[in-house]
Structure 1
């Protein structure tokens, strides 16, 4: 049995088990900066400035990535909608020879989704590149300010502990793009679920009242046969369908009206 989910609900809402990383990684970055400050003093502010500039650039990139990600989710919804309709009507489409046309529609929707996936991936790569550049420039800027501007000698007992702290800071910065992606996916998915839950309920079908109300559908002395067969399956059927849901059942068959 095939189950197709509503296209407005994203199955991958959020990787909630990474919630602790949203706290530990930024906290580790702050602690690394504090320890570097205690080790080399104010020259570390030049390195911190590179990180701040990189994160400012990432804010702008993240806004663009958020817009592209929403477009990509809409494209995925459109593709799923076409696939759902294709699977539901596959028998009739093959009977009339329309399956090739629908497959072309599906492939075009899929290609559009893949193009948007490539664009969002490129923006994500740009975020990673910015963070890696900032983590590499942090020790360069800090050591430059420590030796040139402050005029302090770069001793071994200062350089090696500082490099170790820089590596810790780099590890925290390396995890930030993944955390940004998790937050974006969670924000978009939760927003889509909220939009779906905020949709109004379907209005009930008004039922006719009074003797003068006419039925929605009526058949008189009707006969039905499957296409390609000369023998009718139903003979001389006279039936009236009232307004609302009608269920016709039989051996191995059912139909909703």
Structure 2
């Protein structure tokens, strides 16, 4: 989470201008021993040079409408959003997709586009708005904000409807054994009186068939909606965590690690997928117990209370298990963060470890952390195994105890009573001994995850004071008597008594030895380094090229555009000015060459120029370039300067 991550958060909003006009202050960091005075680049709108091949040609290779399956009746036009209600609800729209998979290997362009209501931007911004409202209310009432309340306010309506459907499903499941019991009573009576009217039997059989058919129709759709709601929460949380990671201040970055953020995105957000399925059984489960006990009382009398005692003993036991699950999950999450942090440090320093033959000590260190984590996982697994074993055996134990007492009281067991009682207890087995305990377990796990996510979201953001300029305003940087500390506990400030003023159309080079504070000055202007005293005013949008070149997995073009719209004229200007034209000619696919983890390997100088081109292509008012020429040779550096 260093400078490379900070790059994208300081880019200006999109601009439709075709001209490449970079006529604003440029502040850069220069090391004396590298290139005497490293310089920056001013591109004016009158520069007009073209690259070897037109960037438009590259765009045509991936643009829909040029062999792209979504352009002419492809999967994008047959997705769930374009079908009628029956097709959407019955998932008939998957038929063409399966036929396509039978004919060929499914590729990314064959997949259906994401529905508008499921896009991360829509979901994330909605939850972010609720979280901002909760933070505002908490500040007014002088209390700590609750991220759980924000989630509840955001999704309570959709979950309320799903709760109603859950109730209907459980009512149908209870109706089935009731009708089955009535049908068996009819056949028992039919043995002694074959003149009975058959209509009640037909009605009971029809009711059983209709209830089964109704469950078959709505149950899978209901589960799909439950999982979709969990997916939406997971996507919204991932969106918020990712955006928060890009806004963290330097002091906040020191309080977290990459491993913790990865753990939040890979583990904690997934808890909501599981909770969504069982959540409503927290209230449907106890209600189901009350209704089933009442029905059992009407059939076998007080004998059903013996089974209820076992159930009453089981529910507090499940609550205790949920609390223990919460404890183990919290401890396991901390140990997982520690293990990932240790592994990251070992991997980053593997060269030194191999050089000094420290493999065994560090392997032992990682193994020790892993053993602690595994011990917590084992404790949770033992508890889960006990929980599941008790849940499966409880229903059979309840039936045994119930009929033992029923016979002891002098009653006669009949087939209708046995089937009726067993069917009702099976209904309890799903809700009271399976779904209700699972709901408690997942709720406590989600509680831990919500607390961890809230702690991360409460970290300090970068304080940006970069005002958007009006047409008659000019960009500027004004610093007076600036004092900054990377760590407030340190006695010596990182920057002390810095004063400078940079106006439009000016180029400023900051020169100094290693450790003089050149990068710290840029960090202060970016808002990464909070200032303790002094005045810092920045007018205009910023873009930043870090000292450590950074590229992400993708094409060279995507690294340069960085989400911007393709402007061929401007793109050609940037390619030429950053001395990338010759490199594009040498690469087989030009700027469409894949780079990163599984792509072509770029040299340090090429990475530096791609990093510089990314910053130059942005429509910003102020360009901050941190030692951009340290990785290039003298000839290329002269070209960039001139």
The answer for the alignment partner of 2:439 in structure 1 is 179
Runs of at least 4 residues off by over 6 Å: none
* TM-aligned CA deviation for residue 8 of structure 1: 6.0
- Superposition deviation, residue 22 in structure 1: 3.0
TM, length-normalised to structure 2: 0.32
Asked whether 1:160 is paired with 2:419, we answer yes
Show the counterpart of 2:347: 87
Q: CA deviation at 1:253?
A: 7.2
Matched, 1:68 2:328: yes
> Do residues 218 (structure 1) and 540 (structure 2) align?
no
Q: Please give the residue correspondences for 1:192-231 in structure 2 after superposition, counting only pairs within 5 Å.
A: 192-201=452-461, 205=485, 207-209=495-497, 218=513
Among residues 376, 395, 400, which one is paired with 1:135 in the alignment? 395
Q: Pairwise mapping of residues 21-36 of structure 1 onto structure 2 (< 5 A)? A: 21-23=278-280, 26=285, 28-36=288-296
Structure 1 length as normaliser, TM-score? 0.72
Alignment match of 1:6 (pick from 261, 269, 274): 261
Q: Supply the distance in 2 between the matched residues of 1:121 and 1:30 (Cα, whole angstroms).
A: 31
How far does residue 241 in structure 1 lie from its aligned partner after superposition?
A: 4.4
Residue equivalent to 1:223: none
Shift of 1:161: 1.5
Aligned-residue offset at 1:71: 1.3
d(CA) in 2 for partners of 1:167 and 1:210?
Answer: 76
Task: Report which of the two structures shows the higher radius of gyration computed on alpha carbons.
Answer: 2
Distance 1:10 1:115, change over 3 A: farther
Q: CA deviation at 1:20?
A: 4.2
8 Å CA contact retained: 1:76, 1:113: yes
Return 185-194 or 140-149, whichever deviates more.
140-149
Residue 242 (1) aligns with residue 518 (2)? yes
Q: CA deviation at 1:117?
A: 0.7
The count of aligned residue pairs is 231
CA contact 2:259–2:337 (8 Å) conserved in 1 = no
5+ residue gaps in structure 2?
Answer: 1-257, 464-483, 486-493, 500-509, 524-545, 550-603, 609-625, 628-642
CA distance, structure 1, for counterparts of residue 417 and residue 327 of structure 2: 45
> In the superposition, relative to structure 1, how do residues 113 and 137 fare at CA in structure 2: closer, same or farther (>3 Å)?
same
1:10/1:189 contact within 8 Å kept: no
Deviations 1:21-53 (A, max 9, x none): 333572555543343233223321221111011
Match of 1:104 among 348, 360, 364: 364
* CA distance in structure 2 between the aligned counterparts of 1:11 and 1:177, rounded to whole angstroms: 24
Tell me which residue corresponds to 1:78: 338
Please say if residues 303 and 406 of structure 2, whose CA atoms lie closer than 8 Å, have aligned partners that are also in contact. yes
| Paired residues of 1:8 and 1:192 also in contact (CA < 8 A) | no
| 2:605 aligned residue | 251
Decide whether aligned partners of structure 1 residues 62 and 76 sit closer, same or farther in structure 2, where only a CA change above 3 A counts.
Answer: same
SS of the equivalent of 1:80 reads: helix
Contact conserved, 2:331 with 2:376, CA < 8 A, in 1? Answer: yes
Verify the 8 A CA contact 2:318 2:387 in the aligned structure 1.
Answer: yes
| Mapped contact 2:321–2:441 kept (Cα < 8 A) | no
RMSD across aligned C-alpha pairs, in angstroms? 3.5
1:232 counterpart residue number: none
- Gaps of at least 5 residues in structure 1 are 220-238
